[in-house]
């Protein structure tokens, strides 16, 4: 095979990131915008020793789950991967990606034997929390095109595509775009006093209001009926409806006691732990985020530590008994130091929020080996129309 070669491929399944997997002459070929069971014509665009990537030219035999994308920019804009798939097909694809990660991670290989990973989940299956397929997303990063208008990055390019409307956006964001700011050739000049020479900024929208990075120092959104404050320029989950449901699942069964909120961010989990009567220890390395956590989870019995989670694990405060621990680590997952601490303390409830099924599988295997029991694993579909996966794993420290 060589770059530019045309191929006819049978798509077996979707893999992490939302691309389709096929095989040609024993080599894995990844193709975007395809569905399992389809036969497609594609052109080779990248070649590695063990795998290659191809671009879709034509669907020769379409899946029954293929649908017409709602966005005219689908495939041009780099934001969505799966609008060609029914929501039912997206659900099955994402659950399949998670199952595959768990199998590859050898989650339940114990004592030289192996058993189906579903056996660890009680119900025998993974949970799936569905979102509204469209109109769900609250957070966007907009870029300026050459004319100064707002848009998104073109797929696999730094070029900016002007975007007057986005089907996955919360209505607040689309209303803001429709008012003319997004299509205005002066958008860059209007924002310059707030962002200087930056060529991008973040917009948050909820409940008919938008907050702009730089222009607004603090955003305040409603989660489960409570106001949570954060910096609109910093990371905060982009699907607030799903976020509330994840918080409830993560904190189920926690009442009172002492709880640790590790990688606490702006104190979202800490806030709701405090409402449940827990004495909360929040650990967050970023000073600005921790300052917001002090406001979101205020109270005389709580603690806030500006340090890395690894450093905190080695300090005296980590030696106490914890009734519950919430961890929301970066994509790299749990550090060795934190896993060692969790294995020693083995809190009765451990809720692990993950944005990467591969590192989740690795950490799950090690937590099981440390004596935890996996109570349930739920995929929360924060990002319909994309291949991104968010999960909540609930462990019991028997």
CATH code assigned to 6-61: 2.40.50.140
What is the pLDDT at residue 46?
92
CB 181 within 8 A of CB 147: no
Q: By C-alpha distance, which of 313, 302, 214 is closest to 258?
A: 302
Which residues make Cβ contacts (< 8 Å) with residue 345, sequence separation at least 6?
A: 318, 321, 322, 325, 397
Q: pLDDT tens digits, residue range 318-358?
A: 999 999 999 999 999 999 999 999 999 999 999 999 999 99
Rounded alpha-carbon distances, angstroms, from residue 110 to 350, 357, 374: 21, 20, 14
Q: Rounded CA gap, 209 and 171, in Å?
A: 10
Q: Rounded CA gap, 173 and 197, in Å?
A: 23
Widest Cα–Cα separation across the chain: 67
CA dihedral 244, 245, 249, 254 (to 10 degrees): 30
Q: By C-alpha distance, which of 395, 386, 388, 391 is closest to 366?
A: 395
Q: Rounded CA gap, 277 and 191, in Å?
A: 43
Q: Identify the residue whose tokens are 């659900």.
A: 91
Class of domain 127-131+237-396: alpha beta
Rounded to an integer, the average pLDDT of 221-244 is: 93
Q: pLDDT tens digits, residue range 167-198?
A: 999 999 999 998 866 555 578 888 889 999 89
Q: pLDDT tens digits, residue range 353-365?
A: 999 999 999 999 9
Q: Helix (H, G, I), strand (E, B), or coil: what is residue 364?
A: helix
Rounded alpha-carbon distances, angstroms, from residue 393 to 100, 253, 326: 16, 14, 10
**Mean pLDDT, the chain, as a whole number?**
91
Which residues make Cβ contacts (< 8 Å) with residue 300, sequence separation at least 6?
A: none
Which pairing describes strands 279-283 and 258-262: parallel, antiparallel, or unpaired?
parallel
Q: pLDDT tens digits, residue range 89-119?
A: 999 999 999 988 888 776 645 433 344 455 5
**Which pair of tokens denotes residue 149?**
């208008």
pTM for the model stands at: 0.92
CA dihedral 276, 279, 285, 288 (to 10 degrees): 70
Q: pLDDT tens digits, residue range 253-295?
A: 999 999 999 999 999 999 999 999 999 999 999 999 999 999 9
Strand blocks (E) in 231-372: 258-262, 279-283, 303-305, 324-327, 349-354
Rounded to an integer, the average pLDDT of 241-249 is: 96
**Domain range summary for the chain, segments of one domain joined by +:** 6-61, 127-131+237-396, 139-226
């Amino acid at each position: 095979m060589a770059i530019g070669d045309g191929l006819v491929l049978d798509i077996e399944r979707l893999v992490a990131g939302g691309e389709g997997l096929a095989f040609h002459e024993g080599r894995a070929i990844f193709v975007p915008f395809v569905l399992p069971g389809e036969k497609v014509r594609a052109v080779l665009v990248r070649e590695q020793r063990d795998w290659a990537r191809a671009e879709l030219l034509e669907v020769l035999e379409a899946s029954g789950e293929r649908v017409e994308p709602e966005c005219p920019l689908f495939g041009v804009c780099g934001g969505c991967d799966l609008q060609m798939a029914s929501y039912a097909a997206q659900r099955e694809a994402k659950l399949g990606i998670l199952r595959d990660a768990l199998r590859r991670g050898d989650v339940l290989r114990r004592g030289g034997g192996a058993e189906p990973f579903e056996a660890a989940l009680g119900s025998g299956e993974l949970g799936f929390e569905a979102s509204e397929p469209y109109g769900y997303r609250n957070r966007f990063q907009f870029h300026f095109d050459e004319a100064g208008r707002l848009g998104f990055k073109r797929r696999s390019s730094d070029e900016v595509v002007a975007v007057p409307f986005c089907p996955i956006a919360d209505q607040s964001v689309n209303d803001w775009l429709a008012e003319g700011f997004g299509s205005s050739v002066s958008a860059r000049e209007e924002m310059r006093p707030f962002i200087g020479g930056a060529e991008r900024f973040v917009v948050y929208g909820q409940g008919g209001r938008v907050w702009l990075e730089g222009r607004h120092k603090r955003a305040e959104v409603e989660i489960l009926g409570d106001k949570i404050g954060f910096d609109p320029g910093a990371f905060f989950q982009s699907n607030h409806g799903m976020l509330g449901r994840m918080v409830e699942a993560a904190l189920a069964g926690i009442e009172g006691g002492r709880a640790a909120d590790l990688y606490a961010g702006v104190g979202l989990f800490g806030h709701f732990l405090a409402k449940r009567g827990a004495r909360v220890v929040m650990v967050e390395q970023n000073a600005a985020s921790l300052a917001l956590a002090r406001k979101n989870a205020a109270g005389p019995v709580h603690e806030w530590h500006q340090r890395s989670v690894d450093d905190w694990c080695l300090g005296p405060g980590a030696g106490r008994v914890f009734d519950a621990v919430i961890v929301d680590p970066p994509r790299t997952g749990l550090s060795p130091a934190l896993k060692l601490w969790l294995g020693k303390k083995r809190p009765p409830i451990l809720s692990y929020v993950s944005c990467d099924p591969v590192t989740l599988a690795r950490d799950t295997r090690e937590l099981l080996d440390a004596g935890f029991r996996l109570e349930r694993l739920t995929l929360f579909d924060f990002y319909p129309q994309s291949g991104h996966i968010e999960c909540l794993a609930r462990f019991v420290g028997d």
